[in-house]
């Protein structure tokens, strides 16, 4: 069975750059997007968690999609985050992202109000019914307070425009069940599960750490696909120190990603990393990059 990959295989959850005044910096975003593609990303996810979507306006979200779409051309999938806690607002964002040139939509489960599963299912269906482009369900209960349960995903898979899941549920058993029983493309949203999920039929990854080292995460998948599973595991292990510092150090990925690549500040309530943290992040990145001869 061929694994469906509607948005590519190695995607980056891209940062949203701001200038010194705190305004959206579309020129820097465009340059960063081009670098990510050159580093091996075949898809970019904008306006998500790493993109600081809770603090950007609707107009900024649209401007970012347009700028990145123009910068990378049509060969790379551009997936626009349109999640909100309000279904009507999500539908409006989805329609605007489609008009701006997005290839697909990342839709998070409605957060804070903690709706039951039938309401969550209705939310995703209403968004999918409102547009003509495909949708990726974003299951991240640690942020939203609600899980998109396995049985809900099995039903959502019946919708022709609900084609993928960004999986941050950290439930490999449940994810494997959905992969086995649907055509949903599963993208790991947790770096430590990128390779395990891929090994059981996942489509690929949506990585925050790829903002810093896109080549590494692409190389892990390439190596696995060549049947060199032991080597893929070694490459994956080499990345773990940077993954741990960026994603499990107590700081949000938006903060650590911007710190390690020198992409400027974040918007409040987030705060930029302190100098010692920046030093540690860059040292871990440099150590990982010193192994570049193993990625081929």
Q: Alpha-carbon distance 244 to 191, whole Å? A: 9
Q: What is the pLDDT of residue 3?
A: 80
Q: Could you tell me the pLDDT band of residue 296, with boundaries at 50, 70 and 90?
A: low
Given a cut of 80, whether residue 254 has pLDDT beyond it is yes
Superfamily of domain 10-228 in the CATH hierarchy? Aldolase class I (3.20.20.70)
291: confidence class by pLDDT, cuts 50, 70, 90? confident
- Of 5, 19, 13, which Cα lies nearest the Cα of 189? 13
| 187 catalytic per annotation | no
Using left for φ > 0, alpha for ψ between -120 and 50, and beta otherwise, residue 266 falls in beta
Q: Which residues of 127-138 are buried (b: 16+ CB within 10 A; e: fewer)?
A: bbebbebbbbbb
Q: Which of 61, 111, 112, 166 is catalytic?
A: 166
pTM listed for this prediction: 0.96
Q: Taking residues 264-291, report their average pLDDT.
A: 96
- Give the residue extent of every domain in the chain: 10-228
Out of 111, 112, 138, 187, pick the active-site residue.
138
Give the C-alpha distances (Å, rounded to integers) separating 130 from 53, 54, 140, 165, 241.
21, 22, 23, 19, 42
- Pair 74, 102: CB distance under 8 Å: no
From CA 85, how far away is CA 106, in angstroms rounded? 14
Instruction: Reduce the DSSP state of residue 106 to 3 states and report it.
Output: strand
Rounded CA gap, 157 and 245, in Å?
Answer: 35
- Reply yes or no on whether 138 is catalytic: yes
Residue 2 scores a pLDDT above 80: no
Give the residue ranges of DSSP H helices in the chain. Answer: 26-38, 58-72, 87-100, 117-129, 141-144, 150-156, 172-181, 194-199, 214-225, 229-247, 253-261, 275-289
User: Average model confidence (pLDDT) for the chain?
Assistant: 96
Task: Report whether pLDDT(293) > 90.
Answer: no
pLDDT in tens, 118-176: 999 999 999 999 999 999 999 999 999 999 999 999 999 999 999 999 999 999 999 99
pLDDT at position 215, please?
95
Do β-strands 204-207 and 43-46 pair in parallel, antiparallel, or remain unpaired? unpaired
The percent of residues above 70 in pLDDT, for the chain, comes to 99
pLDDT tens profile 215-243: 999 999 999 999 999 999 999 999 999 99
Output the CA–CA distances (angstroms, integers) from residue 247 to 50, 105, 107, 242, in the order listed.
11, 24, 21, 8
Question: What's the pLDDT score for residue 169?
Answer: 96
Give per-residue pLDDT as tens, 60-93. Answer: 999 999 999 999 999 899 999 999 999 999 999 9
* Cα distance between residue 53 and residue 159, in whole Å: 26
């Amino acid at each position: 069975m061929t694994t469906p990959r509607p948005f590519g295989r190695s995607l980056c959850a891209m940062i949203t750059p701001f200038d010194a005044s705190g305004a959206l910096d579309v020129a820097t975003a465009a340059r960063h997007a081009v670098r990510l593609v050159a580093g091996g990303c075949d898809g970019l996810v904008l306006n998500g968690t790493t993109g600081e979507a809770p603090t950007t306006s609707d107009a900024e979200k649209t401007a970012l999609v347009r700028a990145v779409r123009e910068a990378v051309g049509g060969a790379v999938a551009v997936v626009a985050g349109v999640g909100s806690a309000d279904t009507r607002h999500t539908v409006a964002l989805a329609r605007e992202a489609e008009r701006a040139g997005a290839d697909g939509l990342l839709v998070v489960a409605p957060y804070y109000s903690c709706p039951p599963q039938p309401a969550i299912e209705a939310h995703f269906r209403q968004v999918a019914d409102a547009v003509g482009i495909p949708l990726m369900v974003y299951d991240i209960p640690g942020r939203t307070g609600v899980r998109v349960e396995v049985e809900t995903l099995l039903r959502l898979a019946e919708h022709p425009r609900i084609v993928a899941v960004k999986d941050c549920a950290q439930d490999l058993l449940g994810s494997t069940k959905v992969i086995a029983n649907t055509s949903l493309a599963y993208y790991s949203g947790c770096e430590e599960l990128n390779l395990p999920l891929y090994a059981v039929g996942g489509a690929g990854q949506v990585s925050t750490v790829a903002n810093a080292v896109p080549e590494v995460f692409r190389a892990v998948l390439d190596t696995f696909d060549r049947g060199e599973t032991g080597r893929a595991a070694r490459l994956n292990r080499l990345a773990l120190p940077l993954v741990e510092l960026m994603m499990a150090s107590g700081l949000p990925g938006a903060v650590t990603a911007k710190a390690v690549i020198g992409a400027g500040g974040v918007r409040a309530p987030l705060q930029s990393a302190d100098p010692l943290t920046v030093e540690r992040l860059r040292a871990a990145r440099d150590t990982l990059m010193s192994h570049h001869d193993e990625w081929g």
